[in-house]
Amino acid sequence: MEFDLSPEQQMFQRAVHDFCAAELHPYADEVDRSGEMRWGAIRKMPALGLTGLQAPEQYGGAELDSISMALAIEELGWACGSTGLSLAAHNGLSCGPLTRWGTPEQQGKYLTKLTNGEHLGALALTEPGAGSDLAGGVQTTAVQQGDSWVINGSKAWITNPKFAPVIIVLARTDRDAGTRGFSMLLVEPGTPGLTIHPPEKKMGLNGSPTQMLTFEQVRVPLDAVLGEVGRGFQQTMQTLDGGRISIGALSIGLARAAFEAAVTYAQQRQAFGKPISDYQAIQWMIADAALEIEAARLLVLRAAWLRDQGRDFGKLAAMGKLKATEVAEKVCHNAIQIHGSYGYSREFPVERIYRDQRLMSIGEGTSEIQRMVIARHVLREQGD
């Protein structure tokens, strides 16, 4: 692996950083308090490719490599956790599967809307009784009746449905076929029988809507299947592998924002006659944070690079996500520590960033599940 970014990747990173610094970073607190996304900024994102990072150019996407995708999501996370999560889900969980498995008709109909800066996409996997164990727990069914699929069930904790022109839904299409009995279906909000419930009240990421969905006799046409009937579970696992790169990148962005705030504060705050940054205890926290952020970023970018090479990246994506989310937790914890009481106040950004990052070790596969994935890879490799 090259140990530096290409000139194009560096230019793109700088452009996204400048955009985020101007359009999102100063407003992150307002987004958290109001619970409202900054649509004025999102509408400007297509010019940089942020609303279709890896979607085909013919449908308004930027067709970027995975490293550039990770760099962009890191910058979004650095600027605003809520916007970062919604854009990560939009790109990885919605545009991603449509790009990979959509027919030209599905791509023409939905990707063009998803990349235009007016909407954000959603993928509904989780249910009230099924998160980590989707294969065992998903109860939502889609049954073929005449020229329709009829969907019944409920989904929980779904990012962006209120902004989505289409929601990708994982449902059981054959109860007796195990992991071959799932399919992904494209459901448009407004379809009779689909209820999108009000956003959950959460600890953080308050600008990113997380909603429950219920399906009562929801009818969609037979060609609303995304990819192949019976391949929905495998498609889900592949989507989550990619999603882990972006949640890793998002976590690094959050950690970096808290770290930068802590370094600035440590140089300004005086105790016992000098800046607290002069004390070794503070310096060690700063040094550890700098080291761990760099280490986590290398893992995430290596996973992205493997993906770009068409190589197996599942283990590295799980490692990158696990490392980056644990680093974010530690760095944000210490950023508050460095701020003392001010860090515990809503007046300083580290309090919000700490709340925002807490989701990262839960969403798109908990840390426990990442360890299971890594162990499975290692045991398989050793067994070969």
Ligand X SMILES: Cc1cc2nc3c(=O)[nH]c(=O)nc-3n(C[C@H](O)[C@H](O)[C@H](O)COP(=O)(O)OP(=O)(O)OC[C@H]3O[C@@H](n4cnc5c(N)ncnc54)[C@H](O)[C@@H]3O)c2cc1C
The catalytic residues are 364
Q: Write out the binding residues for ligand X, residues 199-218 only, by CB under 6 A.
A: 202, 205, 210
Residue 124 identity: A
Q: How far is the CB of 201 from ligand X (least distance, A)?
A: 11
Does residue 15 sit in helix, strand or coil? helix
Of 126, 211, 235, 246, the one binding ligand X (CB under 6 A) is: 126
Locate tokens 């290409």: which residue?
6
Token look-up 């080291």 returns: 291
Contact flag: residue 322 with ligand X (CB under 6 A): no
Indicate whether 368 belongs to the interface with ligand X (CB under 6 A).
Answer: yes
Minimal distance in Å, beta carbon 43 to ligand X? 22
366 binds ligand X (CB under 6 A): yes
Task: Give which of 243, 251, 306, 303 is closest to 90, Cα–Cα.
Answer: 243
Q: How far apart are CA 248 and CA 300, in angstroms?
A: 6
The smaller minimum CB distance to ligand X, of residues 65 and 127, is found at 127
Pick the closest to residue 188 from 169, 171, 172, 204 (CA basis): 169
Closest CB to ligand X among residues 229, 360: 360
Stretch that binds ligand X, among 225-233, 257-265, 317-325, 356-364 (CB under 6 A): 356-364
Minimum gap (Å) between residue 286 Cβ and ligand X: 30
Facing residues of 153 across strands?
A: 215
Three-class secondary structure of residue 182 per DSSP: strand
Cβ proximity to ligand X, 72 vs 205, nearer residue: 205
Rounded CA separation 78/25 (Å): 8
Give one DSSP letter per residue of 96-153, joined into a string.
HHHHHH--HHHIIIIIHHHTTTS---EEE--BTTBSS-HHHH---EEEEETTEEEEEE
Q: Binding to ligand X (CB under 6 A): which residues in 83-102? A: 89, 93
Q: What does the DSSP 8-state code read for residue 314?
A: H
C-alpha distance from residue 361 to each of 27, 156, 227, 251, 366 (Å): 25, 18, 29, 9, 5
How many residues make contact with ligand X (CB under 6 A)? 21
Q: Which two tokens stand for residue 330?
A: 């530690």
Nearer to ligand X, 212 or 262 (CB): 212
SS3 364: coil
Show contacts with ligand X in window 39-78 (CB under 6 A).
none
- Piece in contact with ligand X (CB under 6 A), picked from 27-35, 44-52, 145-153, 157-165: 157-165
Residue 124 lies near ligand X (rule: CB under 6 A):
yes
Q: Which stretch, 108-116, 179-187, 222-230, 358-366, contacts ligand X (CB under 6 A)? A: 358-366
Candidate residues 123, 247, 257, 316; the one interacting with ligand X per rule CB under 6 A: 123
* Residue 60 amino acid letter: G
Taking contact as CB under 6 A, which single stretch among the options 50-58, 218-226, 323-331, 363-371 is the one that binds ligand X? 363-371
Quote the least distance from Cβ 33 to ligand X, whole Å.
Answer: 17
Spatial contact of 68 and 54, defined as CB atoms under 8 Å apart: no
Q: Which of 111, 317, 322, 359 binds ligand X (CB under 6 A)?
A: 359
Asked if 364 touches ligand X (CB under 6 A), the answer is yes
Stretch that binds ligand X, among 5-13, 58-66, 258-266, 366-374 (CB under 6 A): 366-374
- With CB under 6 A as the contact rule, the residue among 112, 116, 132, 152 that binds ligand X is 132
Which one, 289 or 359, has the nearer CB to ligand X? 359
Kindly state whether residue 112 participates in binding ligand X, applying the rule CB under 6 A.
no
**Between 266 and 324, CB nearer to ligand X:** 324
Let me know: does 320 contact 243? Beta carbons within 8 Å: no
The conformational region for residue 365 under phi > 0 = left, psi -120 to 50 = alpha, else beta, is left
- Measured N-to-C along each axis, helices 7-23 and 66-79 cross at an angle, to the nearest 10 degrees, of 20
Strand-pair partners of 224: none
CB of 84 to ligand X, least distance (A): 12
Tell me which residues touch ligand X (CB under 6 A). 89, 93, 123-126, 131-132, 157-159, 202, 205, 210, 359, 362-364, 366, 368-369
